[in-house]
Amino acid sequence: MADRSILGLFQEAEPAADAMDGLAQAGFEAGTFDVLTGTPYPEGAFGEHVPQHRLFRFPAFGAIIGFTTAILLTAGTQIAFPMVTGGKPILSLFAMIIIVYEMTMLSAVIATVIGIIFESRLPNMNPGAYDERITEGWIGVVISVESTRAQEAESVLKTAGALEIKHAS
């Protein structure tokens, strides 16, 4: 169980990528170390593994829920109070399409936002080692390790050219 979080701070992308490679070569498990930046970099810029996600399932799931709820709501309320207007059918399809469409889209949007937050692993109550300069352009390489391997991880970060090392438990 990892109980230490170590952050190496870099000013350039190249040494940060070297640190990521170094940690992988030293046998640290992928997923225990990560790179932190204040702005999106091109995918793979630090040699990190490309994150996989299932975001596209969320809007589809949300849309199905919204569509079903809207059909039940609109059809159900019209059938529950069956008022005939001008001899037309009880179920007013044109009006139903509008409500069903909007509720389907609304549900898809809400599910997408939940998906973005969930797949981003947020909310993150224990963010580990961090430095405020990351949002000023510095690049952080952070690793969660057991105390027994902390020295080794720190050494890899320093060898790659980390300008500063920070710890958090």
Contacting positions for other proteins (CB under 8 A): 34-43, 46, 48, 50-51, 53, 55-56, 59, 74, 77-78, 80-81, 85, 92, 95-96, 98-99, 101-103, 105-106, 108-110, 112-113, 115-117, 119-127, 130, 132, 134-137
User: Between residues 126 and 148, which has the closer beta carbon with respect to other proteins?
Assistant: 126
Q: Between residues 37 and 149, which has the closer beta carbon with respect to other proteins?
A: 37
Which residue, 40 or 148, has its beta carbon nearer to other proteins? 40
Rounded to a whole number of angstroms, the minimum distance from the CB of residue 87 to other proteins is 15
The least distance separating other proteins from the CB of residue 121, rounded to whole angstroms, comes to 7
Cis peptide before 42 (omega within 30 of 0): no
Q: What is the spatial distance between Cα 72 and Cα 61, in angstroms, rounded to a whole number? A: 17
25 CB neighbour count, 10 Å cutoff: 9
- CA-CA distance, 100 to 96, in Å (whole number)? 6
Q: Which amino acid is at 129?
A: A
Backbone torsions φ then ψ of 63, nearest 5 degrees: -65, -40
In order, the DSSP letters of 3-14 are -EEEEEEESSHH
Nearest approach, Cβ of residue 122 and other proteins (Å): 4
Give the pair of three-digit tokens for residue 79.
């059938």
Query: Which lies closer to other proteins via its Cβ, residue 101 or residue 151?
Result: 101
For residue 167, the surrounding DSSP H or E stretch is: strand 164-168
Q: How far is the CB of 142 from other proteins (least distance, A)?
A: 8
Q: Which is nearer to other proteins, 76 or 151 (CB)?
A: 76
